[in-house]
Structure 1
Amino acid sequence: MNNTSDIGFGEDTADIRVYIARRPPMAEYAQLQQLKPLQSGEIALINSACGNGWRKVFNVYSKLLFVLDAQQFTFSRQAVSWQQYRDQFLLQTGSNTALLFSAPELQPELRTVHIIAGRTHAKALLDAGLAAQLTWLNNEFAIDKFNRLLVCPYFDYRQLNNEKLAYLAQLIKALDE
């Protein structure tokens, strides 16, 4: 399903869609108005140009994919490590992943998992009209099971550590239960 309003990196048919507030501060992405699959090596270029904050986003995204239930998702079978997955597959054509700077287009029948990174970003999206009914599970995580939408801490090691990644993976698994 090609959503013409999707702006970000990855595939338009991605089953795992992560939403963050800002795009990398690079000239080549400043005017991006669609979903763009990344090319091999492009994540390394973004990391080099934009620093540790973006490195953390990509690392945490890859680590999340590797802790997801292997019966539900095949990410951990595509590479020997989350690092290899990040470098060879994440947000590229065929990856089944997307990182979006636009608002979610919720279509529950598509079985897509939507993850908003950061409580502040979630609040801004809701204030802008996102039609979701979030149930806050604690200070950091929320769920709208019908729309397959989750809110979690921002994709940073300190905010979304391994324990919280495992919890997020459990929430994703629970969407299909």
Structure 2
Amino acid sequence: MDYLGPVPARLVLYLPHRPEGLASFAHAPSAQAVIAANSNHWRKIVTLLAKVACPVAEDWRSFRDDHLFAQTALCFSPTLKTGDGWHWVAGQANLQRFTSLDQDARGLPEDGGIAVDWARRVLLSPYPDYRQLSNQRVSLIRGVLAQAGFYDGLGC
């Protein structure tokens, strides 16, 4: 099983490993199920995904708990899914798995650790962990998505 969430999704976060118990909650994915079946590490991942994807930044907690997998998805294979959504490849080691990824991402002037390929809707960032993906970096990513119209008309 290489995918968790809606097809298509507005934002797909690509990761190199799967959460424990994936098959048990794949039919009805929820942040609570992912967190309950896994360690604190997965709580951080789904929380950072919610902080990025939530239409209103301050409402990320309720978005995570009630709407996360209605709008976003997790993908564990190194191939971009088709669709009009955004592709978020997190972590340098993870990016190296994408051997056929033809992207032209450019580092942001504010933080070269975050890069964007506007044409392909590909976002490259550090791994979603609080030490590597700080609130400041989350704000930069939200700025990129806002500039692209990601949050326009998006409600919970």
Shared fold per TM-score greater than 0.5: yes
> One-letter code of the match for 2:80?
E
Residue pairs, 1:37-76, within 5 angstroms: 38-39=28-29, 42-66=30-54, 75-76=55-56
Deviation (angstroms), 1:139: 4.5
Q: Among 19, 44, 60, which residue is 1:24 paired with?
A: 19
Q: Whose Rg is larger?
A: 1
> One-letter code of the match for 2:32?
A
Contact kept, 8 Å, 2:14 with 2:87, in 1: the verdict is: yes
The count of corresponding residues between Structure 1 and Structure 2 is 147
Contact kept, 8 Å, 1:116 with 1:122, in 2: the verdict is: yes
- The verdict on how the C-alpha distance between 1:87 and 1:12 changes in structure 2, with shifts beyond 3 A counting, is same
Deviation (angstroms), 1:141: 1.1
The one-character-per-residue Cα deviations of 1:146-165 (angstroms, maximum 9, x if unpaired) are 10101011111221111110
- Rounded to whole Å, the distance in 1 between the matches of 2:21 and 2:102 is 31
1:112 counterpart = 2:102: no
Identity of aligned residues (%): 25
Please tell me the root mean square deviation across aligned C-alpha atoms, in Å.
2.7
TM-score, normalisation: structure 1: 0.71
Quote the residue 1:129 is aligned against.
100
Deviation (angstroms), 1:20: 0.9
The one-character-per-residue Cα deviations of 1:55-106 (angstroms, maximum 9, x if unpaired) are 000111111123xxxxxxxx339xx832121111111xxx221111123436
- The verdict on how the C-alpha distance between 1:37 and 1:17 changes in structure 2, with shifts beyond 3 A counting, is farther
- The verdict on how the C-alpha distance between 1:22 and 1:164 changes in structure 2, with shifts beyond 3 A counting, is same
Unaligned 5+ residue runs, structure 1? 1-5, 67-74
Unaligned 5+ residue runs, structure 2? 150-156
